[in-house]
Structure formats: C-alpha cells, structure tokens
C-alpha cells in the first residue's frame, strides 16, 4: 500500500477522501432506499460505479477515469435529487401528498456527501494525482 502512495502528488490524498465519501454515500443510499420505496437503479449504479471508477483512477493515474468518476457520481446524485422532488415539495409545504417529507433529511445527507465527493474530484483534477517527476 505504501508503494501506491510514494512519489505521488498531493491530489492523491484528496482523491482518497473523495472515494471514501462516495463509498459512504453509496452505502447510505443502499441501506436507506429499500425501506423508502425501492432502489433507483440509476442512483445505485451512479454512486456504486463511481466508487469503482475512482479506485481505478487511483490505481492507474488516469485523468479520463477521474472525469468518468465525476460524471457517474454527479449523475447518481442528481437522479436522487430529481426523483425526490415530490418529497421536497411536501417538506416545503408541510403536507403529505407527492412524497414522504420525513425522508428529506436522509436525501439531503446522501446528496451532500455525493456533492462533496464531486467537488473534491474536481479539485483533484486541477491538483493532479499522478506520479511526481523526480529530478
């Protein structure tokens, strides 16, 4: 494991934190969703595949995999937010008509974790995370 971290740029640590946040948001979603009406395949694939692609980006130091990871995680997060619009409307209005307003805090938690992971992925893209060139 130490050999994976030696001679790497600082962005690799930001990438590791981002992968961990993606994993936490994916597990959080997969634990919550079955009891809240079912698992949305696009959300589960977006968050889950985002974790796997992030690990591949870390192992292979690939910028294209980093972009794919950002897109997958964003897609999962946005699909969750869009599919929960009825719950947000009910929560805002104080009614129970279109969704379940009691689920909004969990939805926001998952979305904020995924959004933080996406922001960290974007920062990693600008910082660089590959091998450092030694002179």
What is the domain count for the chain? 1
Domain for residue 76, yes or no? Answer: yes
Residue 127 has a pLDDT of 86
Output Rg (C-alpha) for the chain, integer angstroms.
17
CA 52 to CA 57: how far, in whole Å? 9
pLDDT in tens, 1-55: 566 666 667 788 899 999 999 999 999 999 999 988 889 999 999 999 999 999 9
CA 73 to CA 43: how far, in whole Å? 9
| Stretch 69-97: mean pLDDT | 89
Give me the helices (H) in the chain, please: 2-5, 11-32, 41-60, 63-83, 85-93, 104-127
Q: Look-up: residue for tokens 């993606």?
A: 22
Residue 99 has a pLDDT of 80
Res. 93: pLDDT tops 90: no
Domain for residue 135, yes or no? Answer: no
Domain for residue 2, yes or no? Answer: no
Q: pTM higher than 0.75 for the full model?
A: yes
| Maximum pairwise Cα distance, the chain | 65
Domain for residue 134, yes or no? Answer: no
**How far from each other are the two terminal CA atoms of the chain, in whole angstroms?**
24
CA 26 to CA 128: how far, in whole Å? 25
Residue 132 has a pLDDT of 61
CA angle 51, 11, 106 (to 5 degrees): 40
Name which residue leads in pLDDT, 35 or 116: 116
Domain for residue 16, yes or no? Answer: yes
Q: Which domain holds residue 48?
A: 9-126
Length of the chain: 135
Q: Spell out the residues 6+ positions from residue 8 whose beta carbon is closer than 8 angstroms to its own.
A: 129, 130, 131, 132
Domain for residue 60, yes or no? Answer: yes
Lowest mean pLDDT among 24-28, 63-67, 101-105, 106-110: 101-105
Domain for residue 84, yes or no? Answer: yes
Domain for residue 82, yes or no? Answer: yes
pLDDT in tens, 117-131: 999 999 998 887 666
């Amino acid at each position: 494991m130490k050999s994976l971290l030696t001679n790497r740029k600082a962005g690799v640590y930001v990438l590791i934190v981002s992968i961990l946040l993606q994993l936490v948001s994916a597990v959080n979603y997969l634990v919550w969703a079955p009891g809240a009406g079912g698992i949305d395949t696009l959300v589960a694939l977006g968050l889950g595949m985002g974790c796997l692609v992030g690990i591949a980006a870390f192992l292979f130091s690939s910028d294209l995999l980093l972009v794919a990871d950002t897109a997958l995680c964003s897609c999962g997060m946005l699909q969750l937010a869009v599919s929960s619009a009825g719950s947000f409307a009910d929560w805002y209005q104080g009614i129970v008509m279109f969704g379940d307003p009691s689920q909004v805090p969990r939805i926001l938690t998952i979305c904020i974790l995924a959004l933080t992971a996406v922001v960290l992925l974007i920062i990693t893209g600008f910082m660089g995370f590959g091998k450092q060139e030694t002179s």
